[in-house]
Amino acid sequence: MNHRGGFALIKATWFSWMQYRSFFFVLAFGWMIPPLVALFVWSAAAGEGSLGGFTRGEFITYYLVLVLVNQITYAQVNWTVGDIIREGTLNHWLLKPLSAIYQALSSELAGKVVYLIFVIPVGLLLAILLKPEIQTTPINFVLSLVATLFAWGLRFAWGFWLAILAFWITRADSFLALQDSLVFIFSGMVAPIPLLQGSLQQIANILPFRYMVGFPVEILVYDLSNKAILFGFLMQLTWLAIAVLLSRTLWVKGIRHYSAVGG
């Protein structure tokens, strides 16, 4: 693998992205809105009292952290890789002496930095305005960081295998839209997972989506038991392994298919 080339590419991509930062700020703004709406809804619902065991301040904390985690883990590679396969730009990738995953990773990392330049100040501003309440331990903080990292890997790999379905299916982006709906319900975005009713909560615990967004937030904001944290990490790593395996297999098969059909 050509690592130096990879880093150069990441740097170059980042510079070119800064050129279009207003474009990415707008995208980042768009992704912030659904959790913010949920924040307003739940804090209005909690009023001065509490709801399902959570106070207004706790809802605010939960969602502000969620906005941040959602932004860090959001895998836009979902959309770009599919377009690249459909439009035939993939040929440029394949002609370079560089593993294609670098192309995906470079836009991913470059994007992350630009988005965070926007989201962190906005998040801080909201925190000052809305006064969240937070109490957490250093251990939980570290665990939450680790979980965020895994969450990002999981969301990236998961998005990647869905995106490369574009090799076979012309409208693979519909799967991505389906995924976004599932993420919205089951990742802790529309409501914190502990507030989901009965079977919905059980489904959320099994599906991978909670481990892409909600889980790291819960570690930080809620007092999860050790057992719950351990279960969470196990689920997260299992799904991560599945997603990586799927991505690799489908990529190899996809490239073979692509060269056979000729794009």
Partner 1 sequence: MRYLKLIKVFIKTSAQETLMYRANFWVSLLHAFLNLIVAVLALVILFGQTENLNGWNLSSTLSLLGVYLIVSAIRNLFIGPSLEALVGLGQEVWNGQFDFTLLRPVNTQFLITFRIWRLFSLIDLFLGGAVLLYSIFQTPQSPNLLAWLLFLLALVAGILILYAILLAFTALVFWNPGYLFTWVFDAIFQLARYPLGIYPVGVRIFLTWIIPVGVITTIPAQVISGQTGAPIVFLILAASVFLFLFASWLFNKGIKQYHSASS
Q: How far is the CB of 142 from partner 1 (least distance, A)?
A: 31
Among 1, 3, 7, 52, binds partner 1 (CB under 8 A): 52
Judged by CB under 8 A, how many residues of this single chain contact partner 1? 32
Between the alpha carbon of residue 106 and those of residues 26, 97, 152, 245, the distances in Å are 20, 15, 14, 21
Q: Any contact of residue 241 with partner 1 (CB under 8 A)? A: no
List beta partners, residue 54: 51
Of the candidates 189, 186, 179, 181, the one whose C-alpha atom is nearest the C-alpha of residue 217 is 189
User: Which residue matches tokens 């941040």?
Assistant: 68
Q: Any contact of residue 45 with partner 1 (CB under 8 A)? A: yes
Q: Any contact of residue 20 with partner 1 (CB under 8 A)? A: yes
Residues in 174-193 at the binding interface with partner 1, rule: CB under 8 A: 174, 177-178, 181, 184-185, 190-191
Instruction: Give the tokens for residue 222.
Output: 């809620």
* Cβ atoms within 10 Å of 234's Cβ, excluding its own: 11
Residues in 59-98 at the binding interface with partner 1, rule: CB under 8 A: none
Crossing angle of helices 226-261 and 138-163, in 10° steps, is: 20
> Nearer to partner 1 by C-beta: 9 or 191?
191
Q: How far is the CB of 177 from partner 1 (least distance, A)?
A: 6
Q: Any contact of residue 124 with partner 1 (CB under 8 A)? A: no
DSSP conformation letters of 80-112: HHHHHHHHTTHHHHHHSSS-HHHHHHHHHHHHH
> Nearer to partner 1 by C-beta: 52 or 263?
52
What is the rounded CA–CA span in Å between residue 14 and residue 29?
19
Residues in 136-175 at the binding interface with partner 1, rule: CB under 8 A: 170-171, 174
Instruction: Give the tokens for residue 64.
Output: 């502000």
Catalog residues that contact partner 1 under the rule CB under 8 A: 20, 22-23, 26-27, 29-30, 32-34, 37, 40-42, 44-45, 51-52, 170-171, 174, 177-178, 181, 184-185, 190-191, 195-197, 200
